[in-house]
Amino acid sequence: MLKWSFLVFIASFSLINRPLFAQFKRFNIGPKSYKLQLKAEYSLSAGAVWAIGPFAQLKDQAEAADGANYGVFTEARIQFRSSQHPLWIPQLQVGYMQLGQQNENWKKQYNLLEAKAQDWSNLYFMPGLSFQGGHCLQFQLRLNAGAFVLWGWNAQRGILNANEQLDRYSWSFSPAVGGAIELGASLQYRLNKRWTLFSDFAYFRGRSGREGSRRRQLFALDRQQQALSPPLFELDELFLQRVDWSSLKLSLGLRYRAFKYLHNPNKRYWNYY
């Protein structure tokens, strides 16, 4: 049984790696320059993003601020090509992401009298490395890691207590910096010598902790169940929020190639897409 399992593993490994070996073989022919020259490609993309997982927690409790839904993002990327290693591409990406808050679902989930919160937002800066292969129709696999700045989700929610009073909690947070990682794959089509159209799918995950304040207020209500000022009770305290930002990204973009050939224009095998 062990012997057959080993043979199946070897066969599967060979089938999976055959396309990658074929890409390397294309560039193991012809003259090479040993002088490292990096040539740039610039891309811009935009698309949709979906939140997954609990997303955020207040302190160490199991009370999750899981109202994050879907949103939009935009991203700029610069990647560097070389004739020595044309398949391995270092890159740098900068992007902005915003996720909407499901206030109505949040209100129903916790049986709240009132609920509102700002959208989640982050700005990320991530260097990385990718592997690219193909001809006119290409694929790219990449890994990026870096930092992100998180802000938003200044929230307020209120519940009706046993005494028919509004028990309101308000959170206010400062921006925070955290670490992030992204795994992505893209399918690309070469339009001409300069431009490439691509579709990208990625998994983004970032973690951060940020300090803020929480205010608790107790209000009497009128007949329309509106809060009457001033509050009957008020208490301010420091608060800590742990954010585990997990999301899926799907985008469409264009890439501009700022050069014509990687190496020798007279050699067809270096006219690499």
**Got the DSSP string for 92-103?**
EEEEEEEEEE-H
Give the β-pairing of 88-101 and 56-58. unpaired
Mean pLDDT of 113-139: 88
Please check whether residue 144 is in contact with residue 181, taking contact to mean a CB–CB distance below 8 angstroms.
yes
Fold of 38-110+118-152+177-204+244-270: Porin (2.40.160)
Instruction: Kindly report the pTM of this predicted structure.
Output: 0.78
Bridge partners (DSSP) listed for residue 97: 73, 122
Q: Does residue 17 sit in helix, strand or coil?
A: helix
Report the distance separating Cα 56 and Cα 201, nearest Å.
23
Q: Could you tell me the residue ranges of all domains in the chain? A: 38-110+118-152+177-204+244-270
Please check whether residue 94 is in contact with residue 75, taking contact to mean a CB–CB distance below 8 angstroms.
yes
Bridge partners (DSSP) listed for residue 180: 146, 206
pLDDT over 90 percentage in the chain: 33
Please check whether residue 45 is in contact with residue 252, taking contact to mean a CB–CB distance below 8 angstroms.
yes
Report the distance separating Cα 120 and Cα 51, nearest Å.
10
Q: What is the DSSP string of 191-215?
A: -SSSEEEEEEEEEEEEEEEEEEEEE
Please check whether residue 207 is in contact with residue 243, taking contact to mean a CB–CB distance below 8 angstroms.
yes
Q: Give the pLDDT confidence score for residue 9 in this predicted structure.
A: 55
Report the distance separating Cα 82 and Cα 209, nearest Å.
39
Confidence of residue 157 (pLDDT cuts 50, 70, 90): confident
Q: Is the pLDDT of residue 1 over 60?
A: no
CA 161 → CA 62, 65, 165, 218, distances in Å?
A: 21, 21, 6, 10
Q: Give the pLDDT confidence score for residue 221 in this predicted structure.
A: 84
Mean pLDDT of 209-229: 86
Residue 192: DSSP 8-state: S
